[in-house]
Structure 1
């Protein structure tokens, strides 16, 4: 199957939403300001990461609820919510509520697996069921059923003065088609395709058939589409860290290059017993980054991206990076803002 090169159709970005423990509001307001800026710059989507017991966004659904009231067009996503921390039915209620408030702009991304450091948090998170919780793809399937309006109880109709529904309320039509799976393995890519989800390709993948990151990511995309009812039309969004420097100050360029250099060694070989591969961060002018992306085997297969902002930069750095992406890099990749 020959590689194809498609113009970039949908432009998104991803932020972790860091904050200072002594002043968490400032960090959350910065995240919301960045999402508003993304809409003004023409981005098609804004995505937030999920961090528990850290100094990042622990409640992305709440943050995006606030974002729905500050924006009118940009799609809002999570990349990703680890379902091991969630009750699928309750999460479905929250997702549907925010989707209704947004006018149908929510794109929930989720993942399976046990919570990070589960041995340390299970007593607080699942005190009565810690050893029997199912963290497999079955947990994702339960969420999909709830979001898509499948019956979840045998109770419906009028009881006294109250009216009950046997499916999650509110029901958000269309939300089920905007559910994304954040996958880093062939098994996850296949499962997401078989269950009609969209695929968020990760910047961290499992080295199964290759030790070349782009080849691994490409194999996930093709496996996903081979098992999806929509085939080659199934939606895939690529996630990479890109740092254009077109309008950066000399000080910013030095900081960006130091950040990338520090993270580069982990991209050379598979890491740990799980053999995880990390994508190299891309820093340089928009012209240089566009050239590198155009030769990236996986990028050539997609029409959507959610470029990740570096974790530890300052607000003004994010403003510069997003502005350069929207005005320099994305147009060089064939993207045009929606009318």
Structure 2
């Protein structure tokens, strides 16, 4: 324990015992600074307070006013004065310590937030990024994967979610090389992808399964949706995995996927569709464009096509999914055939229509003008 943390504290105790003098504002401010210094040195608050209490006890046993005096009134007065100094000094020590810790936490949060931003953006200086990763325990040479968790609404108490999730991921992976943070209202989890070692991994089979199980225990944010990017090596690989996870969340919303867990591999076909947006926009417009002239607009007919394809082309099942009668579904399918010239039930035309429906969902049509994509 650094003895310099006592400063002039022993002198203040001695003055109080011999003359009853109370510390002035400047002397208490000095103790406040010593509390800040203790926090900067990494001394625990309990240890700092114990140092002050132990010093007071030892000094009391050696004070001449106490050792030599047989007058109980003198002893009581000295004790009261010393206890007053101890009380004020320890309070100011703790106050300075806590202020310093709050500032350090805010600074660490800023560093963490900036680091995460640069890490996920992927365009920062690699050498500098590797240096900044060391305090967070990240080995940039290892392959990592990124997972994102999106709450159903606004999540205010993020600290509880982050702490709980970080502990769970560390236990599951058996590795400290884990980073959990927030970005754009989502929880970001970065974990190494080369931890396939015997022993620690029990329970959840994948990172996504683990995250869903842990987040389901939280009182807020449910239901959650989790997307997981594929693992890649290096700092650029982290940014690439994050981009896959981010695209996964966007696509899951646009496609109205029922699954709470989406793996990047599941969305590869949709990424292929979006790779040439002018072409897919042209396909949507050419195949489905006439649906906008239907009574009620294109959206009800588009939803019917989507439900029809999702249920394997079974009108009865699609009707239950849409909460419609079978007759209403078959009427809509006939109406689509009349307007577009494409028959969703025809095996030769089904692929074209289905691809156009997927493209429409990915591009946000009919709410979005496809002219900007062509």
* Greater percentage in helix: 2
* Greater percentage in strand: 1
Please state which band the TM-score falls in when normalised by the shorter chain: under 0.3
| Greater relative contact order (CA < 8 Å, ≥ 6 in sequence) | 1
Point out the structure with max Rg over C-alpha: 2
